[in-house]
Copies of this chain bind each other. A is one copy, B any other.
Amino acid sequence: LPDSEPKLIAGIRRRAAHTRSRARVSRVVAGIGDDCAVLRLPAGHQALVTTDLSVEGVHFRRDWHPPDSVGHRCLARGLSDIAAMGGDPVAAFVSLALPADLPQSWVDKFFSGLLKLGSSFRVPLAGGDVAESPSGVCTDIVLVGSVPAGKALLRSGARPGDGIYVTGELGRSAAILHGLSNGRKPAPRAAENRPHFFPTPRLEAGRALRGIASAAIDISDGFSSDLAHICHESGVDALVHEHSLPRGVHGFDSSSLHFALHGGEDYELLFTAPPKARVPARIGKLRITRVGEIIRRTRPRKSRDSDPRLFLADSHGQRKELTPRGWEHFSAGG
């Protein structure tokens, strides 16, 4: 970390040291204050690394999201990627480009949210960088995790006949975002709004799925897009049963199916498992729902680079094609 913002950095260091001391077994040999952090990974494990940008006006808005929510969501994005690989988080790093006129209290609360989530999963903050931003807050979260060698849950392992499953419920985060963009003011700390403002990364579920799931991804872009990612990497197509989807929005409005299919930022896990796999009905308190199955590619082999196809079956068994709609981050204008 540079010394351009000594006060800020001293504060981060202090807070980071605090989370580190609470970590069960610290894997951080040297953290903030050297050129690199030095991490000790468990023997026989591979390292997992993921980076995720959160840009003001694209991933959050300061007038919609309280600073501790922005910090929480920033770290949750990275932890969710570790969960999707079946990994254990080892350490987090955060780079911050901050406007010169940003109040110190915003930064303090950002770190409160980030470090509180870190503490609850015993993930220390081991470094990062700070610079001045010409406009708007830009954060980049880096998560390093570990997974027993060869046991990572990849996107590429889905095979025809595998079941498709999701954890939890889908669509609530997108519904709340939709409300925000329509002028509603959902209370960030209310239990029903936490899936958007304070989502829980599914680390326990990810770990439990090692050796069970054939492929996995976290639902950040939206169910349809993320299922398409699995199909693309695995070279397969998919059939989804509309009535099976665990909708997070009930009687909210008629768009609950739309939010469940295409809404983003659920941070639930989407995974596949072979027919004989013993997929639990719950992992801890988290419900697991079977929502469809992987099918053979329906397009000819030759068109190797073409997109995979997703199908949606209604309760009468009628199939229609499901077009993956990537979650469009809201634009700065709303």
Taking Cβ atoms with an 8 Å cutoff, the residues of A that contact B are 2-4, 29-30, 33-41, 43, 46-53, 55-59, 80-82, 84-85, 87, 91, 93, 95-97, 126-136, 138, 140, 142-145, 147, 149, 152, 154-156, 216-218, 220-221, 225, 229, 233, 326, 328-329, 332
Contacts and interface: CB of A to CB of B under 8 A. Distances in A.
Given A29-B46, A49-B127, A40 B145 contact: no
Contacts of A221: 2-3
A46 B39 contact: yes
B93 A131 contact: no
Given A3-B221, A3-B225, A95-B140, A85 B38 contact: yes
Taking the full assembly, how many copies of this chain does it contain?
2
A81 B152 contact: no
A323 to B, nearest CB: 13
A130 B35 CA distance: 25
A48 B36 contact: yes
A124 to B, nearest CB: 12
A126 B85 contact: no
Nearest to A149: B40
A16 to B, nearest CB: 14
Contacts of A53: 95-97, 129-131, 140
A51 B91 contact: no
Nearest to A93: B51
B50 A35 contact: yes
A36 B50 contact: yes
Contacts of A233: 33-34
Contacts of A3: 221, 225, 229, 326
